[in-house]
Structure 1
Amino acid sequence: MESDRPKKEKKKDGNHQPSKKRRRQQRADSPGPSCVSMERSKKKKKNDGNHQPSKKRRQKRSKVTSAQSDQQHQPELEMNQEELADTLWGGSSAVECQHKIKSNLQKKFRCVFEGIAKAGQPTGLNEFYTEIFITERGSGEVNKEHEVRLIETASRKPAKEETPIRCEDIFKPLLGKDKPMKKPRTIMTTGVAGIGKTILTHKFTLDWAEGKANHDIHFTFLLTFRELNLLKGEEFSLVELLHHFFNETKEAGVCIFDQFQVVFILDGLDECRLPLDFQNNPIWTDVKEPSSLDVLLTNLIRGDLLPSARIWITTRPAAANQIPAECVDRVTEVKGFTDPQKEEYFRKRFRDETLANTIISHVKKSRSLHIMCHIPVFCWITAKVLEDFFKTSQIGEKEPNVMTQINIHFLRVQSIQGDRKYYGRAETDPDWSSESREIIVSLGKLAFNQLEKGNLIFYEEDLAECHIDIRAASVYSGVFTQIFKEGCGMYQARVFCFVHLSIQEFLAALYVFLFFIDTGINLLSEEPPTSGEDKLLLVYQSAVDKALQSENGQLDLFLRFLLGLSLETNQIVLRGLLGQTQSRSLFTKIKQGLLGQTGPSSLTNTETVSYIKEKIKGNLSPERSINLFHCLNELNDRSLLKKIEQSLTSGRLSRQYLSPAQLSALAFTLLTSDEELDVFDLKKYSASEEGLLRLLPVVIASRTSLLNDCHLSERSCEALASVLSSNSSSLKELDLSTNDLLDSGVKLLSAGLGSPHCTLETLRSVLPNGQTITPKGSISEDI
């Protein structure tokens, strides 16, 4: 069948020429060795000598060639190092090239700077690396929920229910029930920011370079979209692109790769600034013919360009749909650390066993920290904060146990370290210097501006807009990572990011808070306050409204941090930072009425709590309501939760009417409980459709949900279909018997049952006409 995509035109004189800049560069370069050739004439000349390949090897190569013609997109190339040399005349250059690449990759990845780039003491990757939990997913379906919520959901799903995949086995054959084993060509690995995707690619590459794994692979080319973005607008052939990033291939004259087993690792799809126009880009098959980077990448991924190559793409979940599903053979997901792996990480991090035990114990006691430590980068942040706290805290000082407190202390630790290292400040000096405040405010402005745009990666022009001095920013290297292409080449541009999305969101919240204290201006609302209104209260109310309006909860964590900053206990740690605000502390300004007609900040917080409770009573999604309870936790208000907990203990819940707010409080209580949610029986709480809809996240988290005889209707079936098709669902058994679902409701359920994400094994549901629903989604007669 003819493809609908435009085919490439035959190159004419003057077409597809490299830019003037690149032509000048090519003329300036001294001529390197000519490309290793596969021409028969060169083979014959070599064969006239004494270097005759064995008959067995010639037959093996013949089989490989045959396999390529029979199955263009799935070649099975199995050559050992000796055969690699025999395959290409001049092959010694290819082997030498491979050795140089491996040697350079070992130098590059053997040591890492944990959490940050080029700061502190390097750590051996093999010594530091803790196995990360990877599992297979059914599809690359996009999940645009806030990534912290994805982590919270994943933390409730037992690891034992999923089959782990080891890093080195990522390209092992797929085992299908109704199909033979098939080696995946293109793999996509998803995972939230900071979960360990990049470290995973480094570990895979290092293991290959050290000869520990994947011996069938001849070349591994790791490219990041951060680096590729810098070449946007340039034209390259695939060979030129590899020569650009891997000079060893250029020096060896290796230009033909289809006889090798090559792996391309494309790290950080979510950071890609190229259009990746799979629909309209022309088909491109010539590895030596220049085109735009976008055309090269789309053709490489879909298999038109160098079909013998294997491709591994990593991305955050929200960007997964940039690659068409038909171009991906396997989707895996990085889940981060399991509970035992968290403990292993801290024990590797601290050789002082007493300190390690203290930190592990503290993390286990704080549910929010324990959940966030699924993310390796957050483990690193937590380790730095708690190490400093337990070594320097005063008697009676309360340990940081929620994310806002961890981030405040993290910023403080980085500020002190930066001031001592670069400004020579003594241990007795204040925690916050004027220099540290200046850079923190600038970084906060950058964080806020880019958060509003949805950007995680920034360039030098973005920093310039916020008047950030790059050298000064690098002082706080634990907060702000500098990443740039090293070595010779045409590009030395720098790329920047915060070490984790949560740090960016925290700094954005801190900036909104500091900007208001400095100027009295609410950055979250364009409407000026009326006379006599509590201006600080309006900031918090605007943040609540903005978070509820944001798509998929993208400002949920920002809201938690901003509300957390309102507590005086947290402001005490920031006092040196806040106290430099126009030479007056926050508390002085509040008392003098400079922030509006208000009393102490505790009164403002009480009104903020009331505002949030009113919102919970409204018609919110269960997920939005649950985040508002997280916000109440930040404000130390547990009044709604205490009432529910008392009713749970007494067993009175099933006998009393629960309001929407109480149902949301119940959902939050069940989801944040330390007890594993195995069986959820709706009748114990609220045998009603309203009860089910408010408690839907609990159904997703449970293994067995008993919803029989709960007065459910077609409306419930639509909601349950979304549960069944959710890739976050843990549901194995569902009882819907003795409910009037109607045929229309059953059809909705069947759609959910047919989803590739459906994990249901047992479904009990007897319809009025004597039919039952099977787990496969079909309707059959009940005999």
Structure 2
Amino acid sequence: MELEKEISSRGETFQQVRGSRSSQEYISLDTLLKPDSCGINPGAVILQGNSGNGKSFTVQKIVMDWACDLYKFDVVFHVKCKEISHISSRTNLVELLSYNSFLSSDEISTILQRSPEQVLFLVDGFDELKYTEDFYRMLPPTDQYQRAPPEVTLCALLRGRILRESFLLVTTRSTAIDILKNVLKEPQSFTEIIGFSEKGVEEYFKKFFQNDILFSKGYEYVRANETLHMACSIPVICWIICTVIRERLNDGTDATSGLETTASIYVDFLCILLEHHSQGSGQSVPTLVKSLGRLAEKGILSQQVLFDEKTVYEMVSDPAGSPFLCKFLFKKRIHQETMFSFMHLSFQEFFTALYYLLMDEHESKKKVMQMVSLHKTNVNAQYSAPRFEAVVYFIFGLLNEDKDGGEWANERPLRPFKITKTDKYLPGSGFQVLLANVEKNLQKPSEILHSILSHMYSNLTIKII
């Protein structure tokens, strides 16, 4: 009942309802990996949460705490699913772990054989794993030296077919929780990371602005706007909102005008980065946005969040100068490879939606229907990962002409990533109704979309109202 009230509440009421939950429902990070009240030590902990709620940062904090001797494990392996999805060759568990470790394969093998019960695997971003046909149909390996496709090898670890005595903590978006429960060994423990509390939002604003006057103005603006107040509970959106408000305060403009939906917040943030950090990119704004959109779409359709240099440079002339892309070195056995990713998965989804709407009416509708078709014909409908819902929500948000946010925006204010069981692509479900609404809007592109693009191409001051 309390969770239902939290989901349906807004603004300051949202934070009050969340704060009124029993303190027994909350746990500190140091107790996450300890036995429960019955003394049962779960073999696997699922840390679920919506996009941008801080799952990956929590994993990094655990690694840092372990390095400071706050956990009993002999060794911790940080496994990033987005990197596993980029590995094309068959590999065993020891080789898989060596991709993101300074330990040699021999050292890893010795550790795993010596004391597997003292090993912690932090598997980050299960929802970013590529769900191929092999993932469901191929028998997983039974030892750490048997080679298989990388996602199958990881699945063997998750199922407990390999190193069952080891401890697992797996992070995932809530949209992939049903898949994870079916492939993860037992006993399982479920934990949800829900983002910032009201006090946490206030503390973040203080640290972000580092100026008492700007902090007071910015935080009071947000508290007076129930939509923004609730949105700030999501850390990544809180960061975006702080960035937008800081720029507006510096420019002397209305700090919160036009920020009514998630799409409008992302568009405003997009404009700020384009205006202040993309002037020397060598591409016009329309070309840059379209090229980023093509890259984003390629990743969404192929379940890919990491891109090699060749792929990126084929689409973006100066990826290193783009504020929306992150460049890093990816260890590949005996050498390193330069890779790129979007600054956050939600930006990849946003740029995909924006790219579809930059096309003409016929091509736009064709692309959306192609995406839906891929979703419906997934290799295994029972375990179909909901890859496209966030893209569709962004599309609808960008098309929305209703000043109050429209029917769907009101039903899911600033929560394009919150997918309930009824939102799966099933006949008569909420998601299919949403798709029907998107298709209807695509048949008659809204005037506001043309206005958005016109402003973007000229003076980069975009507002969705």
Structure with greater helix share of residues: 2
Where in structure 2 are the equivalents of 1:98-137 lying within 5 Å? none
Match of 1:413 among 264, 267, 272: 272
The Cα of 1:218 is off from its aligned counterpart by 0.8
Equivalents in 2 of 1:414, 1:509: separation in Å? Answer: 18
Instruction: Indicate yes or no: 2:24 matched with 1:187.
Output: no
CA contact (8 A) 2:326 2:343 kept: yes
CA contact (8 A) 2:349 2:391 kept: no
- Range 506-515 or range 150-159, more displaced: 150-159
Equivalents in 2 of 1:492, 1:149: separation in Å? Answer: 46
Instruction: Indicate yes or no: 2:93 matched with 1:246.
Output: no
Match of 1:229 among 81, 85, 94: 85
Distance 1:454 1:246, change over 3 A: closer
Equivalents in 2 of 1:441, 1:378: separation in Å? Answer: 23
Amino acid at match of 2:395: F
Give 1:356's aligned residue. 215
CA contact (8 A) 2:328 2:340 kept: yes
SS class of match (2:171): strand
SS class of match (1:182): coil
Amino acid at match of 1:489: I
The Cα of 1:332 is off from its aligned counterpart by 1.3
CA contact (8 A) 1:221 1:263 kept: yes
SS class of match (2:337): coil
Give 1:330's aligned residue. 189
Equivalents in 1 of 2:33, 2:302: separation in Å? Answer: 32
Give 1:473's aligned residue. 319
- Unaligned stretches of 5+ residues in structure 2: 377-385, 414-465
SS class of match (2:39): coil
Distance 1:406 1:280, change over 3 A: closer
Equivalenced residues, count = 385
Give 1:523's aligned residue. 363
Equivalents in 1 of 2:406, 2:34: separation in Å? Answer: 44
Instruction: Indicate yes or no: 2:55 matched with 1:218.
Output: no
**Sequence identity, in percent?**
21
CA contact (8 A) 1:450 1:456 kept: yes
Q: Which deviations, in whole Å up to 9, do the C-alpha atoms of 1:483-521 show, x marking residues without a partner?
A: 5425873452525235252x44543454445444xxxx4
SS class of match (2:26): coil
Match of 2:284 among 435, 450, 469: 435
Match of 2:307 among 429, 445, 459: 459
Instruction: Indicate yes or no: 2:20 matched with 1:164.
Output: no
Where in structure 2 are the equivalents of 1:422-571 lying within 5 Å? 422=280, 435-447=284-296, 453=301, 455=303, 457=305, 459-460=307-308, 463=311, 467-469=315-317, 472-477=318-323, 479-486=324-331, 489-490=334-335, 492=337, 494-501=339-346, 503-516=347-360, 521-525=361-365, 555-563=392-400
CA contact (8 A) 1:244 1:489 kept: no
Equivalents in 1 of 2:297, 2:108: separation in Å? Answer: 48
Where in structure 2 are the equivalents of 1:43-192 lying within 5 Å? 158-161=18-21, 163-175=25-37, 180-192=38-50
Equivalents in 1 of 2:131, 2:334: separation in Å? Answer: 21
CA contact (8 A) 2:140 2:153 kept: no
CA contact (8 A) 2:91 2:153 kept: no
Instruction: Indicate yes or no: 2:228 matched with 1:369.
Output: yes
CA contact (8 A) 1:262 1:310 kept: yes
Equivalents in 1 of 2:153, 2:225: separation in Å? Answer: 48
Match of 2:129 among 272, 279, 282: 272
Distance 1:242 1:150, change over 3 A: farther
Give 2:252's aligned residue. 393
User: Which TM-score applies when normalising by structure 2?
Assistant: 0.70
The Cα of 1:246 is off from its aligned counterpart by 2.2
Equivalents in 2 of 1:264, 1:417: separation in Å? Answer: 40
Amino acid at match of 1:345: Y
Instruction: Indicate yes or no: 2:203 matched with 1:344.
Output: yes
User: Which TM-score applies when normalising by structure 1?
Assistant: 0.43
The Cα of 1:398 is off from its aligned counterpart by 6.9
SS class of match (1:248): coil
CA contact (8 A) 2:245 2:256 kept: no
CA contact (8 A) 2:245 2:255 kept: no
Amino acid at match of 1:310: F
The Cα of 1:201 is off from its aligned counterpart by 0.3
Give 1:263's aligned residue. 120
Give 1:204's aligned residue. 62
Equivalents in 2 of 1:150, 1:316: separation in Å? Answer: 22
Instruction: Indicate yes or no: 2:412 matched with 1:629.
Output: no
Amino acid at match of 2:342: C
- In our comparison, the structure showing a higher alpha carbon Rg is 1
The Cα of 1:475 is off from its aligned counterpart by 1.9
Equivalents in 2 of 1:194, 1:401: separation in Å? Answer: 18
Equivalents in 1 of 2:86, 2:42: separation in Å? Answer: 30
